[in-house]
Amino acid sequence: MSTGVSRRAFLSGASALAVAAGLGLAGCGSSSDAAQAATTGAILAVGSTAMQPLMEAAAEAYGSTEQGASVSISVQGGGSGQGLTQVSEGTAQIGDSDVFAEAKITDADKLAALVDHQVAICGMGPVAHPDCGVENVSLADLKAVFMGQVTNWSELGGADLAITVINRAAGSGTRATFEQAVLGGDEVPSSFTPQEQDSSGTVAKMVKATPGAISYLAFSYFADDILALSIDGVAPTRETVEQGEWPIWAYMHAYTQESCDRAVTDFIDYLLSDNVQGSLVESVGFIPVADMTVAKDADGTIRSR
């Protein structure tokens, strides 16, 4: 699997940061002419539902440009695992994932054929029904909840209300990111079997409608009618993610095959251009990669940039 750079002007002067972050396009036929003529083709982007709002907004904006007007882009959810499977098998042109491909693909040849384009940062955090009576939890207590060891909000200083844990499905990149940061590799007891939901949108609806519920969502799904919990006194905000103070975040990866056609190449270039990175990324609740003061590798190790 390879990474590289094809962005030509990343927020006027952040090119070196972009290179360090592994942004961009390698091996996917990037063209050198910044003012491309219109291209034609069809693109299927499948995967992360956390990433879906960004990809849908970018696809719509790209369709309004001269270059993208004749390109049909279909964006579907299904989870990061689904997206990575389909792009590696060639049944989708882009695999949207909020985990590194190494977390889902074990076939070395398939992994080597993929190119990682990191298009944004996604902050994620625990969310609860507003009646739980708790606004801040320790990381240790949060882990205990999702291990099935704490079962009532009163044990955390909140209401006398049973905790209903709502997980994403096993193939979810959001779930993988949350569990890596919160569970730290510990196995959930087989006797603890919380309900699972296939999409972030469904999780948001379930948490809103279920007294005592707790789950986790990308910041882009936070809303006034669900409670975003702080962890160890740190609020889930863009600033705390950028500074490395908030523990739960992920790169938004747009994976492609090493060899792909002009329509895919141009759309990836667009995702990494100032048109998207300068405003659209932020407008849908994500963070430009260049704004981060820390970086994360496939093993979850975080270091200063």
Integer Cα distance of 34 and 226 in angstroms: 43
What pLDDT band is residue 195 in, cutting at 50, 70 and 90?
very high
What pLDDT band is residue 299 in, cutting at 50, 70 and 90?
confident
For 56-106, write each residue's pLDDT tens digit: 999 999 999 999 999 999 999 999 999 999 999 999 999 999 999 999 999
Q: Residue 36: what pLDDT? A: 52
Q: Residue 25: what pLDDT? A: 38
What are the structural domains, with CATH classification, of the chain? 15-121+252-304 (3.40.190.10), 123-242 (3.40.190.10)
- The residue that leads in pLDDT, 11 or 169, is 169
Mean of all residue pLDDT scores within the chain: 88
Q: Residue 114: what pLDDT? A: 97
> How many C-beta neighbours within 10 Å does residue 69 have?
12
Vertex 95, ends 36 and 123: CA angle to 5°? Answer: 100
What pLDDT band is residue 223 in, cutting at 50, 70 and 90?
very high
Cβ 129 vs Cβ 227: under 8 Å = yes
pLDDT (mean) for 244-260:
95
Q: Residue 279: what pLDDT? A: 87
Q: Residue 1: what pLDDT? A: 62
Q: Residue 300: what pLDDT? A: 85
pTM of the predicted structure, to 2 decimals: 0.82
pLDDT (mean) for 106-133:
96
What pLDDT band is residue 2 in, cutting at 50, 70 and 90?
low
For 39-55, write each residue's pLDDT tens digit: 789 999 999 988 999 99
Cβ 54 vs Cβ 46: under 8 Å = no
Q: What is the 3-state secondary structure (H, E, C) of the chain?
A: CECCCCCCCCCCCCHHHHHHHCCCCCCCCCCCCCCCCCCEEEEEEEECCCCHHHHHHHHHHHHCCCCCCEEEEEEEEECHHHHHHHHHHCCCCEEEECCCHHHCCCCHHHHHCEEEEEEEEEEEEEEECHHHCCCEECHHHHHHHHCCCCCEHHHHCCCCCECEEEEECCCCHHHHHHHHHHCCCCCCCCCCCCEEECCHHHHHHHHHHCCCEEEEEEHHHCCCCCEECEECCECCCHHHHHCCCCCCEEEEEEEEECCCCHHHHHHHHHHCCHHHHHHHHHHCCCECHHHCCEEECCCCCEEEC
